[in-house]
C-alpha cells in the first residue's frame, strides 16, 4: 500500500528534478544599481553571479520594471577608448563566476521611467538560455559615497 506521505515525497523529488534549470545553479550576491544623475536616462546594475552547477550557464536576457529597455553590457577597448556595448549572452563556466562591476560587465537599464532614488529596490529578472529565470532585488546606491561617509577631520584633530 502506498501511503499519501510516500506519494508526496515522490512528487517532490520528481518536481525538483524537472524544475532544475540553470537558474537553480547560480547564486547572486550584492546586487545594486548605481544611481545616475537625474538627467541621465540610463543606469548600470552590478552583482556577482556564481555558477555552482556542473555545466556552463548562459544568461541571454535581463528585464526590469524601472526602465523601458534592459540589456546585458560589457566594456571593450576600441583603439584605446573604453566603450560599452550590448552582448548576446553572459556565459559563466561551471564553478566559475561573473563579476558585474562599473567599467566591466553590467546590466544596463535604458530609458528610465523615473529618476532612481537611493535605497529603492528594483527587481531584475535574469533569463537563461534554457528558459529558466531568476529574479533578484537590486538596491539603488549613490554613485559617489555621501559626504557623511568621509572621515570627519575636524573633530578628530589634535591641537598642538
Ligand atoms: Cu552599459
SS3 27: strand
**Residues 79-128 pLDDT 10s:** 999 999 999 999 999 999 999 999 999 999 999 999 999 999 999 999 99
| Pairing status of strand 133-141 against strand 121-128 | antiparallel
Count Cβ atoms within 10 A of the Cβ of residue 61 and give its class: 0-12 exposed, 13-18 middle, 19 or more buried.
middle
Give one DSSP letter per residue of 96-115, joined into a string. Answer: -EEEE-TTSBEEEEEEESSP
| CA of 53 relative to ligand 1 center, distance in Å | 28
Please report, for residues 35, 105, 107, the alpha-carbon distance to residue 89 in angstroms, rounded to integers and kept in the order given. 24, 11, 11
**Residues 16-30 pLDDT 10s:** 444 469 999 999 999
CB 33 within 8 A of CB 45: yes
Domain spans of the chain, in order of start? 21-140
| CA of 103 relative to ligand 1 center, distance in Å | 9
| CA of 121 relative to ligand 1 center, distance in Å | 20
pLDDT band of 39, cuts 50, 70, 90: confident
| CA of 128 relative to ligand 1 center, distance in Å | 20
Beta strands in 1-160 (DSSP E): 26-34, 42-51, 57-63, 67-78, 81-86, 90-92, 97-100, 106-112, 121-128, 133-141
| CA of 81 relative to ligand 1 center, distance in Å | 15
| CA of 2 relative to ligand 1 center, distance in Å | 56
| CA of 22 relative to ligand 1 center, distance in Å | 24
Q: Bigger pLDDT: 51 or 6?
A: 51
Q: What is the pTM of this model?
A: 0.78
Q: Which CATH number fits domain 21-140: 2.60.40.1890, 3.40.50.720, 3.40.50.300, 1.10.3720.10?
A: 2.60.40.1890
* Of the candidate ranges 17-26, 69-78, 149-158, the one whose mean pLDDT is the lowest: 149-158
Please give the pLDDT value at position 156. Answer: 47
| CA of 158 relative to ligand 1 center, distance in Å | 46
How many CB atoms are located within 10 Å of the residue 120 CB?
15
| CA of 8 relative to ligand 1 center, distance in Å | 47
Is residue 157 scored above 60 in pLDDT?
A: no
| CA of 56 relative to ligand 1 center, distance in Å | 24
| Pairing status of strand 26-34 against strand 133-141 | parallel
Euclidean distance between CA atoms 10 and 6, whole angstroms: 6
Euclidean distance between CA atoms 56 and 48, whole angstroms: 16
Amino acid at each position: 500500500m502506498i501511503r499519501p506521505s510516500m506519494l508526496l515525497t515522490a512528487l517532490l523529488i520528481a518536481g525538483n528534478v524537472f524544475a532544475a534549470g540553470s537558474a537553480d545553479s547560480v547564486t547572486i550576491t550584492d546586487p545594486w544599481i548605481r544611481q545616475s544623475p537625474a538627467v541621465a536616462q540610463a543606469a548600470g546594475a552590478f552583482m556577482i553571479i556564481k555558477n555552482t552547477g556542473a555545466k556552463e550557464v548562459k544568461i541571454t536576457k535581463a528585464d526590469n520594471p524601472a526602465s523601458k529597455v534592459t540589456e546585458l553590457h560589457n566594456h571593450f577597448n576600441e583603439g584605446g577608448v573604453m566603450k560599452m556595448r550590448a552582448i548576446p549572452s553572459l556565459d559563466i563556466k561551471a564553478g566559475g563566476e561573473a563579476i558585474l562591476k562599473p567599467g566591466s560587465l553590467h546590466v544596463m537599464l535604458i530609458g528610465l521611467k523615473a529618476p532612481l532614488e537611493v535605497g529603492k529596490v528594483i527587481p531584475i529578472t535574469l533569463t537563461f538560455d534554457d528558459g529558466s529565470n531568476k529574479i533578484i532585488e537590486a538596491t539603488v546606491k549613490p554613485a559617489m559615497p555621501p559626504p557623511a561617509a568621509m572621515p570627519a577631520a575636524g573633530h578628530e584633530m589634535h591641537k598642538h
